[in-house]
A and B are shown apart, each in its own frame.
Chain A
Amino acid sequence: MYILKNSLISIIRNKGRNILIGIIVLVIACSATVTLSIRNTANNLVKNYEEAHDIIATISFNRQQLSEKFEGGEDAIKNNIEAFNEIEAITLDNVKNYGDSSYLKNYYYVYSTSLNSDTLTKATDKYEYEVEDKQTTTSTTTSTTGGENAGGRMPMGGPGGGGERHTFTNRNTTTIITRTKETFQSGRNLTGDFELDGYSSYDGMTNFIDGTYKITDGEMITDFENFECAISSELATLNQINVGDTITFKNPNTEATYDFLVKGIYKDNSNDDDSANMYSPSANTIIVGSKIIEKLVSDDSTLVTNITPSFILQNEEAITPFSEEVKAKGLNEYYTVNTNLEELKTATKSIENVKTFATTFLAITLIIATIVLLVINMINIRERKYEIGVFRTIGVSKFKLTIQFVLELLIVSLIALCIGAVIGTFLSKDIGNSLLQNEIEATQVANEQILDNFGKGGKPMDLERATVQVQAINEIDAVVDFKVILQLLAIGLGLTIVSSLASMISIQRFSPLTILKERS
């Protein structure tokens, strides 16, 4: 107890020295509060962002690898399509197999097929209509010549070649070969007029989550196993369909028909800035449950389907092992596993930069402060050498004396830390947001520069998205929370101990007798 009492007396009676130490610690506390609160808040923001935005793995074609199989020449297209068709497409069973993984939180997929309809009009820019045949009668002068032109050569004629048209008859036997045109296309193209996108869960409806699609009438399908659907507002308007109506689709192969109850009508907002097409790409897209597609496929296995799986990974570390696991489960070599990690990182890049800056600033401040405090303490201990000698001769142990000196510094530091923390709290929000704003502006300028490199008229979609995402987190709202206070205390304690090293070592080394002799 007397140690504390002595410390307090010493602090009060050595005001000048302690005020100087206090000011230094105050400045450190202030900057530490600002940087710690920015750092912690930035951490929380990034963490929240990462929690809100899962790392999603998708499977896509590796076209570069595929193109190595492509051929040039006369039948190139046919051969290339054949090569493409040889690659096994991903099936629903594959997706379920890949989805059964410990590296995943969840997975979902969009299972698509296409159907026709006798009762619905497809939303398209093309409009075909029938007109009555018109016959035009013209009179022509025809002269026939003999077999002088055995080679079938065409005489001079045509534009500028004379005023008459001539018909030449080849005296040789003419064999006419009729060729029937075949449509040769990839076996994976959906061929029906209406694309049915079967979602396995609401999680997969990313267009609705990010606001690209929005239900404007009715509601989203609630039963993924019943013949319910949501249709685009364009299709609804074109065919005068209302929520609650039933629409009928037809299998293009078997002519089987399926009735769907319209539960909702959605608007596609993605075509707001797309002036090239009359209808949005989703105009003929029908939203249904994935089970419905499975039913359609079970009725007709020849129905062409597409599946787009999305795998929600547990964390960043799961990317490589999951990728390897999927390959081990038989994913074709022409497919690759991609993730949205880069996209997520881009969104938090600005705030990560601010965080790094704050951490560096804090580290530099602490190093300088520690050195300054250490020097002040070394001077202090030389000034108080006599005091140490007296304490030792009256029987104060080295340990207790060390505690007293450390305590003095700790009390001054704690008071200064508290004041500094209060000041820092007021400053942290403004400074944090100012730093972030500068960082966002710098990143935007850099992105715009890249876009300019592609030409002002043609902004690549990906880059444009990256620019938008830079602003995903555009305000820090730095707050001094319990964690920051704990960190400040740890910094204060650390600073005190490190800068008290001079006292600690000196007290251990000083001989009281020598000190007192020197004094005498």
Chain B
Amino acid sequence: MSILKLEDVGYRYKDAPKDQYVFKNINYEFEQGKTYAIKGKSGSGKTTLLSLITGLEKCTEGNVLYDGKNLKKMNLDKYRNTDIGIVFQSYNLLPRLTAIENIILSMDVSKVKIKKKKEKALELMKSVGLSEEQAKRKILKLSGGEQQRIAIARSLSYNPKIIIADEPTGNLDKETETEILNIFTRLAKEENKCVIIVTHSQNVCDRVDCIYDLEKK
């Protein structure tokens, strides 16, 4: 049973000619407990597709269905703070907050009831390989890999069914990339998450269960 389904999804920019689509007729299905890679060259529309899946953009054609429900009819804020966790290439953490505050903020925003938020945040940070001492640091005092781990921990904070990551290892060295990929694999296998990684890295593609190659339409 797919948790996320893309039905004939097409997208074109508002100011583009009518027949000039970034992509068209995309039909992908995603299940829980599996890892997916959406592969494509630069400009193929990987990040745009991620935006459609996360509800940050609306598709021009077709539908995105989450758990059988059309995103067009859903409260997208609630969808983003409850059902799907997003990990951005540039992390998108709030620099004025500490690492743990970023995670707790995400819990606060979520509609999911979470008890003992601080303990849960520390536990999550530990699960992505961060210490308590690192938790108290401001974001800008953490390395790229550490920030990426924080971003992953944040995306897990409200226990969403889907984790979607945009080039999560693009800025990281190979060793850190492997560690991050291990985390994603564990999340799918042990915590039954649907992990979708948008990437052009072959290394990532080699580690996932299913690859969707986004050809330019």
Chain A contact residues, CB within 8 Å of chain B: 1-2, 5-6, 9-10, 13-14, 387, 389-391, 393-397, 512-513, 516, 519-520
Tell me whether A396 and B96 are in contact (CB under 8 A).
Answer: no
Please measure, in the bound complex, the distance between the C-alpha atom of A324 and the C-alpha atom of B96, giving whole angstroms.
Answer: 74
Q: How far is the CB of A257 from chain B (nearest CB, A)?
A: 101
- In the assembled complex, the CB of A370 is this many whole angstroms from the nearest CB of chain B, namely 27
Contact B90 A516 (CB under 8 A): yes
Q: Which residues of B contact A (CB under 8 A)?
A: 51, 54, 56-57, 77-82, 86, 88-90, 92-94, 96-97, 101, 105-106, 108-110, 154
Contact of A395 among B51, B57, B81, B97 (CB under 8 A): B81
B97 touches A516 (CB 8 A): no
Q: List 29 A-B residue pairs with CB atoms under 8 Å apart, sorted by A's residue number.
A: A1-B108, A2-B105, A2-B108, A6-B105, A6-B108, A9-B96, A9-B97, A9-B101, A10-B96, A387-B94, A389-B92, A390-B92, A390-B94, A391-B109, A393-B54, A393-B56, A393-B92, A394-B105, A394-B106, A394-B154, A395-B77, A395-B78, A395-B82, A395-B109, A396-B109, A397-B77, A513-B56, A519-B90, A520-B90
**Pair A396/B77 contact, Cβ less than 8 Å:** yes
The reply to whether A512 and B56 contact each other, CB–CB distance below 8 Å, is yes
What separation, in Å, do the CA atoms of A512 and B57 have in the docked complex?
9
Residues of A within 8 A of B51 (CB): 513
Instruction: Say yes or no: B81 contacts A396, CB within 8 Å.
Output: yes
Residues on B with beta carbons closer than 8 Å to the beta carbon of A10: 96
CB <8 Å contact, A13 and B109: no
What residues on B are CB-neighbors of A6 within 8 Å? 105, 108
Min CB distance A45 to B, Å, is 51
Roughly how many angstroms separate A299 CA and B193 CA in the complex, as a whole number? 116
Whether the pair B88, A516 counts as a contact (CB closer than 8 A) is yes
Report the minimal beta-carbon distance from B148 to chain A, rounded to whole angstroms: 14
Nearest A residue to B55 by beta-carbon distance?
Answer: A395
Contacts of A393 in B (CB 8 A): 54, 56, 80, 86, 88, 92
**B110 with A395: CB separation less than 8 A:** yes
Contacts of B79 in A (CB 8 A): 395
Asked if A14 and B90 sit within 8 Å, CB to CB, the answer is no
Residue ID in chain A nearest B96 by CB atoms: A13
Interface pair B77/A520, CB less than 8 Å apart = no
Task: Decide: A520 and B94 in contact? CB cutoff 8 A.
Answer: no
Query: Are A513 and B110 touching (Cβ within 8 A)?
Result: no
Chain A residues near B89: list those with CB within 8 A: 520
CB atoms of A394 and B90 under 8 A apart: no
Bound CA span A9–B100, Å: 14
A395 surroundings in chain B (CB, below 8 A): 77-82, 109-110
CB-CB < 8 A to B77: which residues of A?
Answer: 395-397
Question: CB distance A394 to B109 under 8 Å?
Answer: yes
Chain A's closest residue to B75 (CB) is A397
Question: Bound complex: CA of A2 vs CA of B106, how far in Å?
Answer: 10
Residues of B within 8 A of A1 (CB): 108
Q: How far is the CA of A170 from the CA of B136 in the complex (A)?
A: 143
The distance in angstroms between the C-alpha atoms of A512 and B88, with both chains bound, is 13
Q: Which residues of B contact A397 (CB under 8 A)?
A: 77
Taking CB atoms, residues of chain A closer than 8 Å to B101 are 9
- B77 CB to nearest A CB, Å: 4
Distance between A503 CB and nearest chain B CB, rounded to angstroms:
17
Q: How far is the CA of A9 from the CA of B90 in the complex (A)?
A: 23
CA–CA, A491 and B93, complex, Å: 36
Q: How far is the CA of A207 from the CA of B194 in the complex (A)?
A: 98
Task: Give chain A nearest CB distance to B151 CB in angstroms.
Answer: 10
- Bound-state CA distance A513–B82 (Å) is 19
Among B86, B105, B154: residue with most chain A CB under 10 A = B105
* Cα(A393)–Cα(B91), bound, Å: 11
Considering only CB atoms, which chain B residue lies closest to A395 in the complex?
Answer: B81
Known: A9-B101, A10-B96. A394 touches B88 (CB 8 A): no
- Tell me if A5 and B108 are in contact (CB < 8 A): yes
Bound complex: CA of A6 vs CA of B90, how far in Å? 22
**Who on chain A is nearest to B85 by CB?**
A394
Q: Which 3 residue pairs of A and B lie closest in terms of their CB atoms, listed nearest first?
A: A395-B81, A2-B108, A395-B80
- Rounded to whole angstroms, the CA-CA distance of A458 and B25 in the bound complex is 104
User: Which residue of B is nearest A1, CB measured?
Assistant: B108
Q: How far is the CB of A440 from chain B (nearest CB, A)?
A: 55
A387 nearest in chain B by CB position: B94
> Closest A-chain residue to B82, C-beta based?
A395
Distance in angstroms from B111 CB to nearest chain A CB is: 9
For residue B57, which residues in chain A have a CB less than 8 angstroms away from its CB?
Answer: 513
CA distance A519 to B91 in the complex (A): 11
Residues of chain A within 8 A of B110, CB atoms compared: 395
Min CB–CB distance B162 → chain A (angstroms): 13
CA distance A424 to B86 in the complex (A): 51
Query: B81 and A390: CB pair below 8 A?
Result: no
A36 to chain B, nearest CB (A): 36
Alpha-carbon gap, A397 to B80, bound state (A): 10
A147 to B8, CA, bound (A): 157
Distance (whole angstroms) from the CB of A33 to the closest CB of chain B: 33
Residues in A neighbouring B154, C-beta threshold 8 A: 394
Residues from chain B with a CB closer than 8 A to the CB of A519 are 90, 92
Q: Which residues of A contact B78 (CB under 8 A)?
A: 395
Cα–Cα, bound, A512→B101 (Å): 21
For the complex, what is the distance from the CA of A6 to the CA of B96, rounded to whole Å?
Answer: 11
Distance A397 CA – B51 CA, assembled complex (angstroms): 17
* Residues of A close to B106: CB separation below 8 A: 394
Provide the residues of chain B in CB contact with A390, threshold 8 Å. Answer: 92-94
Q: Which of B51, B89, B94 has the most CB of A within 10 A?
A: B94
Whole-angstrom CA separation of A316 from B88 in the bound complex: 72
Complex: chain B residue closest to A6, CB-CB: B105
How far apart sit A387 and B110, CA to CA, in the bound complex (Å)? 17
Chain A residue with the shortest CB-CB distance to B51:
A513
Chain A residue nearest in CB terms to B90: A520
**Interfacial chain A residues near B81, Cβ < 8 Å:** 394-396
Known: A394-B80, A519-B92. 12 other contacts (CB 8 A): A6-B108, A9-B97, A387-B94, A393-B54, A394-B81, A394-B109, A395-B110, A396-B77, A513-B56, A516-B92, A519-B90, A520-B89
CB distance from B178 to the nearest CB of A (A): 24
CA A14 – CA B154 in complex, angstroms? Answer: 23
Q: Give the nearest-CB partner of A12 in chain B.
A: B96
A394: which B residues are within 8 A, CB to CB?
80-81, 86, 105-106, 109, 154
Give A43 to B88 CA distance when docked, in angstroms. 61
* CB-CB nearest in chain B for A397: B77
In the assembled complex, the CB of A205 is this many whole angstroms from the nearest CB of chain B, namely: 75
Question: Which residue in chain B gives the minimum CB-CB distance to A13?
Answer: B96
Q: Once the chains bind, are B108 and A14 in contact (CB under 8 Å)?
A: no
